[in-house]
């Protein structure tokens, strides 16, 4: 059984979808947040251990990440899944967990990196809407792409587009995580 840690900073909708759908051969052992947020309520509902590491409680970012690493090691975490975690991980952290940290992004990378990707895509006008799951590296939304799904949308209602993108995220992220767990089981 593989142990997954989910990192989140907000509503926790992707986290909840992964918890609800489940991953065969794995369990979400830990939720890590960088602040008090709704994802903690979801962890409580699903009886998943949760730890909050607020930057202000540590002298340095490195000290905060070392505290997180200590918990990850105690929980024997095999895979880290970023689900709306709004902090960049340091190169040292990324190197320690190279090819074991996933992120989901609401655009067809390499287009529209960073925050407000859906808004960026709408403003661009090229109708390049979609979702990307990728490995995390030292850059923002620059890691190796694992899978992408295009979201065909021709309307003008950004809320409708956001809903479609998020629904695509929920299905895609769970499927990719399951595929990676299945691949590890066969190697």
Query: What residue ranges define each of the domains in the chain, with the CATH number in brackets?
Result: 2-103+135-148+169-186 (3.40.50.170)
pTM for the model stands at 0.94
Distance, CA of 139 to CA of 144 (rounded, Å): 11
Distances (CA, A) of 50 to 20, 43, 135, 162: 17, 6, 23, 28
pLDDT higher than 80, residue 185:
no
Q: Which residues are part of the catalytic machinery?
A: 105
DSSP-derived secondary structure letter, 28? E
**pLDDT tens-digit readout, 37-63:** 999 999 999 999 999 999 999 999 999
């Amino acid at each position: 059984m593989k142990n997954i840690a989910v990192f989140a900073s907000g509503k926790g909708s992707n986290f909840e979808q992964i918890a609800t759908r489940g991953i065969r051969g794995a369990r979400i052992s830990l939720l890590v947040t960088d602040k008090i947020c709704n994802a903690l309520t979801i962890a409580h509902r699903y009886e998943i251990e949760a730890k909050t590491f607020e930057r202000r409680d540590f002298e340095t970012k490195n000290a905060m990440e070392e505290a997180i690493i200590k918990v990850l090691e105690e929980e024997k975490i095999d895979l880290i899944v970023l689900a709306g975690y709004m902090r960049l991980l340091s190169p040292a952290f990324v190197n320690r967990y190279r090819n074991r940290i996933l992120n989901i992004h609401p655009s067809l990378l390499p287009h529209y990196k960073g925050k407000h990707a859906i808004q960026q895509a709408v403003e661009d006008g090229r109708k390049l809407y979609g979702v990307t799951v990728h490995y995390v590296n030292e850059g923002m939304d620059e890691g190796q792409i694992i899978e992408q799904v295009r979201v065909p949308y021709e309307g003008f209602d950004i809320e409708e587009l956001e809903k479609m993108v998020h629904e695509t995220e929920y299905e895609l992220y769970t499927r990719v995580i399951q595929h990676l767990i299945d691949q590890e089981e066969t190697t």
